[in-house]
Amino acid sequence: SYELTQPPSVSVSPGQTASITCSGDKLGDKYACWYQQKPGQSPVLVIYQDTKRPSGIPERFSGSNSGNTATLTISGTQAMDEAVYYCQAWDSSAVVFGGGTKLTVL
């Protein structure tokens, strides 16, 4: 079955740029999206179709997808961005999630 691999954790200083990767076989041939989940809350879509931001998501969130890796980039990271981020793609009529990356802003 298809797998998406994310680093368990990423740390960033406030105001700096955070990058979270998501790796999967030929992931660049599929659409990737990203969700943010804060403790005790439901996930929120922050990037879809590789690079698009839903309404209400700040411009500091951006995405890319090429080859075997999709990347979520948060520019000018703020304390409120501290959360777990999940990538997601489709494979063979099944939704696949990455294992999640805990972003710590310190």
Positions touching another protein (CB under 8 A) are 1, 30-31, 33, 35, 37, 42-45, 48-49, 54, 84, 86, 88-90, 93-100
CB of 33 to another protein, least distance (A): 4
Residue (13 or 38) nearer to another protein, CB = 38
CB of 67 to another protein, least distance (A): 18
Handedness of CA 48, 19, 64, 96 (dihedral sign): negative
Instruction: State both tokens at 80.
Output: 């409120």
Residue (12 or 89) nearer to another protein, CB = 89
**Residue 50 contacts residue 70 (beta carbons within 8 Å):** yes
Integer-rounded Cα Rg, in Å, for the chain is 13
CB of 14 to another protein, least distance (A): 26
Instruction: State both tokens at 35.
Output: 């969700």
